[in-house]
Structures are given as structure tokens and as C-alpha cells.
Amino acid sequence: MEESKRLKKLPPYLFDEILKKKKELIEKGVDVIDFGVGDPDLPTPAHIVEAMKKAVENPSYHHYPLRKGLKEFRKAISDYYRKNHGVDIDPEREICVLIGAKEGIAHFPFAYVNEGDIVLVPEPAYPVYHRSTILAGGEPYFLPLLEENDFLPQFEKIPSEILSKAKILYLNYPNNPTTAFAKEEFLKEAISFCKKYGIILAYDAAYSEIYFDEKPVSFLSIDGAKDIGIEFNTLSKTYNMTGWRIGWACGNERLISSLCKIKENIDTGVFEAIQIAGIEALSGPQDCVKEMRNIYKKRRDIFAEGIRKLGWDFRLPKGTFYVWVKGEIKDSIKMAKILLEETNIVAIPGVGFGPSGEGYLRFSLTIPEDRIIEGIKRMEEKWGRKK
């Protein structure tokens, strides 16, 4: 049985060897500290869980869900954007509920990409952007995110022959893995660029509520964003609901309609009891979100102090729960292997997110403070403190 040409085009999963080694160590009883997975260790807030418990007992939610999502949940999303970002979104025509943002991002190219079309993909980046492009029959064109450019793509360097075939531009800020923010001026530039060349802007806002001092600018709050844009968001990171699989797309009415058409032919929507919990998340008390940000900020500061003492280069993250660090050696896969084999610490090699990630490691702060402190201690014992 031969796999399809598109599936064969997918790049290898570069973390396989590290994950295999991690599993072997754990099976031997080794205490492995995992800074790798971007999965919140904090529990889903109790009031959201309680809403789910009540909803799951309601037999009316035990049937196939409405594909577009419950009207009440779409209304809660609309109200949330108006209150938090000053953005008006029509809950009937400009929102589509997703089985997590990743699902929507992965399916979106199927609505607009034809064989040979080009999708502009930043790198280093969340792998689903370019992998979904390949599966839809498109060709990814990579836009390097470099530290000297504040990890923002340089649109002026894209060749005209690429622009003539480009259908979609993916952007993600606050950014995974670099933790960079996008200022209003850049977002205006991106919108103008997409309008000029007839390109759809697909904006991944999964980390929009994980910030420490300065609140990131909302993409949809910029004039003209809805003319060419669709935003993907999720409850996963903001409310520690990664396993619940619920998110949404919002923005341009035509783009939302097209995504909904794809989903109508692939899935039957999100379990409605989870959508009821989503209503509670967005419209209920938000103290839990502020508390979550404070916890990640404290973890960030503990980790940053330790990394500074090692003499490793990094930018203090203004948001997300990652730290993007230049390791002791440029080969990021080798550096990750050394960390795992000699300190029993898991970090993700930057090159796994794209060529421009070479030389970096991504550390996730989704582990308790005492484990972060222990991890820093192990690294100090291996590499020592720099004066």
C-alpha cells in the first residue's frame, strides 16, 4: 500500500529521536524535566469544569452538534471581542466554531489553494502552516523570521513571481516559538501588502491573552483587517483547555463561509456541552486568566535569571509561555541531545520549526516552579555560571 505523493512530501518529524530517548529514560526511572511540550500544566478553572458537568447531563447536547456552532457560543465570542478588543464581529456570518484552532488552520488551505498555488509561510513557526499547505496541494514559500528584524517577515524581499501565485499569508503573534509581538505599524503593513497583491491573511492568535506587561494589538482591530483576513483563536491556552479541543475562526464573511463548507464535508462540529463550557469561559469571571498570566510571568523570571547566569543569549519574552534561547552550540539538534543525555532535560531544537530556528532552543514554561529551578540547577552543573 503506497502512501499518497502529498503525504510523502511532508518533512520528517525531527523530534522523533529525542522523544524516543526521553521515553527510554523515563522507563529506566530517570527523572526527566520536560521543557518541550507547550501544554499548560495548570488545570481548567473550576467554574468552567462545573459548567461542563451540568451541560454533559443535558440529553439535548448528546446529538450531532450544529456544524457552525451553537448560536449562544458564537454570541459569547462576539461579545468577548467587542469587550476585550473593541472589534465588532457578526456572530451569524463571521464566526465558525472549530475543533481547536489547529484543526481550522489545517483545513483552511483546502478552501482556497489549488495545485501549484503558493502559500507564504513564516519560519521558524508552528509546523501546521506549511504541512497543511502541502496536503492541500500548494507550495509553501518560507519567510525567515530573524532576530535582527524583530522576528517579523520582510515582505519587500518576496520575488514578484512568488507574489503572483501567492494565495495565503500566515502570521502568528504573539509568536510561537520566538515569543515576538507584532506592533500596530507592522499589522497595517501586512494588511496593505495583502490587499495590494490579493492575498488572504490567516492570523493565528492562539497566544493573544498570554502577555505580561503590554497587551498585544488585536489583528482584527486594525482597519481593513476583515477585508482580507481570518483569525484563528482557541480556549486552549487562555483557559488551560488544550484537551477539550475547542476554538473558532472569525473575520471576513466569505472566508468564514468557505471554511464552514470544508468542515461540513469533514466533521460534524464540536460537542455542544463543551461549547456551553466555552460560553462560561468567555463570559464568566476572568480572574483566572490574570492569575494564569502572573504564574507564567513568575516562571519566566525564574528561568530567565538562570539562563542569564549561564551566559546564554535570549530576549525576555513579553508573552506566550515559551523562551527562545541560543544554546551553547549552533547545532540545535545536537544541543537538545546533549541536554537530554547529560542533564535529562527536554527542550525543542529550533531547527524543527524551520531553518531560521537553527542555533536556538525552545523552552516551555508549562512546568511548576520547583521543576524549573531544578532544571536550571542541572544546566549550571553542566555548563557552569558565566561571570
Q: Give pLDDT tens digits for 322-364.
A: 999 998 889 999 999 999 999 999 999 999 999 999 999 999 9
Q: Give pLDDT tens digits for 112-146.
A: 999 999 999 999 999 999 999 999 999 999 999 99
- Indicate if the pLDDT at residue 67 is higher than 90: no
Rounded CA-CA distance 87/279 in Å is 18
Which of 347, 364, 358 lies closest to 15, judged by CA? 347
Please give the pLDDT value at position 385: 67
What secondary structure letter does DSSP report for 268?
-
- Indicate if the pLDDT at residue 315 is higher than 60: yes
Confidence of residue 14 (pLDDT cuts 50, 70, 90): low
Please give the domain boundaries of the chain with CATH numbers for all domains.
Answer: 5-43+287-383 (3.90.1150.10), 46-283 (3.40.640.10)
Which of 66, 76, 89 lies closest to 230, judged by CA? 89
**φ/ψ bin of 145: left (φ > 0), alpha (ψ from -120 to 50), beta (otherwise):** beta
Confidence of residue 211 (pLDDT cuts 50, 70, 90): very high
- Residues 349, 355 contacting (CB under 8 angstroms): no
Confidence of residue 228 (pLDDT cuts 50, 70, 90): very high
- Transcribe 113-150 into DSSP letters: PPTT-EEEEEES--THHHHHHHHTT-EEEEEE--GGGT
What secondary structure letter does DSSP report for 11?
P
Please give the pLDDT value at position 305: 96
As given in the structure block, the three cell numbers for residue 31 are 527523572
- Indicate if the pLDDT at residue 48 is higher than 90: yes
